[in-house]
Chains A and B, each alone.
Chain A
């Protein structure tokens, strides 16, 4: 039951991150403006974030779905979602109510709604990322000593 929850949480969060990355990658200029609208980075850095974040979301999402390095994937997803939560909290604190740019222009969301979504994703990933060392694994290590996932050296 607990294992099933962790797997489902990882896959659902991964799919959302992949969708977010794909939509942002298709509208990079609009996303760069959305990043600049947060007002916390210089323009050039906003452009760099708009360039790289979609790829980061996609790779993290793929790793969460395929789960080759379970804890690393969950930790990467947790770090992303926590970062989003901090940014959205800042945006709400500033009184901004415009679309957060989280899922492109196709699916607009106000900062409070986006914060709720990011917080839920972080909570879903937290058990897998922050579990104690040596806790029961969902997929036990291979007894043959061989790695069983094709991308596990990368994720």
Chain B
């Protein structure tokens, strides 16, 4: 019956489940044997630790972000797509979208040079785009780049001021 042309759909579904289970076991085995296995309780850099996004990038909390923005020494960098940035962003933030980093960085180079600290954020603690943009900024020679791991989600939930682009 297995491999038979008249195999019933129910039988095929069960066998598909066996394929998935075999594959999952293979994946777990490959992970265990790899040089850099993923830990069972994996956490993304953007959410592990209190304020430590990893990759050598310092994280900031919401309170720290507000303090550095109020002092005028920091510039917020929105790593989300331009359309989302236009809908609403942290007041004064510039947009370096993760999908057009080079273009936006060239466009905003004067803004960035005028500030001591750049704080990058994206949509939420789960997103990875802030880290991607922060790494690109560091690679471009920006001296102090940090990540606001809470992202736009946490800023919005705190009911803080928002700014829209025309």
Interface residues of A (CB under 8 A from B): 25, 28-29, 32-34, 36-39, 43-44, 46-48, 50-60, 63, 68-76, 79, 94-98, 110, 129-130, 133-141, 147-149, 152-155
Contact B3 A47 (CB under 8 A): no
Whether the Cβ atoms of A28 and B36 lie closer than 8 Å is yes
Question: Within the assembled complex, what's the spacing in Å between the Cα atoms of A140 and B83?
Answer: 55
In the assembled complex, the Cα of A138 lies from the Cα of B7 at a distance in Å of 12
Produce 1/0 per residue, B108-151, CB < 8 A to A: 00000000000000011011110110000000000000000000
CB distance from B49 to the nearest CB of A (A): 12
Q: Check if A43 sits within 8 Å of B6, measured CB to CB.
A: no
Chain B interface size, as a band, is 35 or more
Given A32-B38, A51-B27, A149-B3, decide whether A43 and B123 contact each other with a Cβ distance below 8 A.
no
Contact A69 B126 (CB under 8 A): no
Q: Which of B11, B26, B39, B83 contacts A47 (CB 8 A)?
A: B39
> A46-B42, A52-B28, A147-B3 in contact; A154/B22 too (CB < 8 A)?
yes
Is B16 within 8 A of A79, CB to CB?
yes
**What number of residue pairs across chains A and B have CB atoms under 8 A from each other?**
181
Interface residues of B in 76-133 (CB under 8 A from A): 80-81, 83-84, 97-99, 123-124, 126-129, 131-132
Give chain B interface residues in 1-18, CB to chain A under 8 Å: 2-9, 11-16, 18
Contact A73 B19 (CB under 8 A): yes
- The interface residues of chain B lying within 8 Å CB-to-CB of A51 are 27-28, 31, 38, 42
Query: Which residues of chain B from 41 to 97 have a CB within 8 Å of any chain A CB?
Result: 41-48, 80-81, 83-84, 97
- Check A47 against B8 for contact (C-beta < 8 Å): no
A74 (CB) vs chain B CBs: closest residue: B12
Rounded to whole angstroms, the CA-CA distance of A60 and B98 in the bound complex is 33
Least CB distance, A48 to chain B, in whole angstroms: 8
Find out whether the CB atom of B43 lies under 8 angstroms from the CB atom of A59. Answer: no
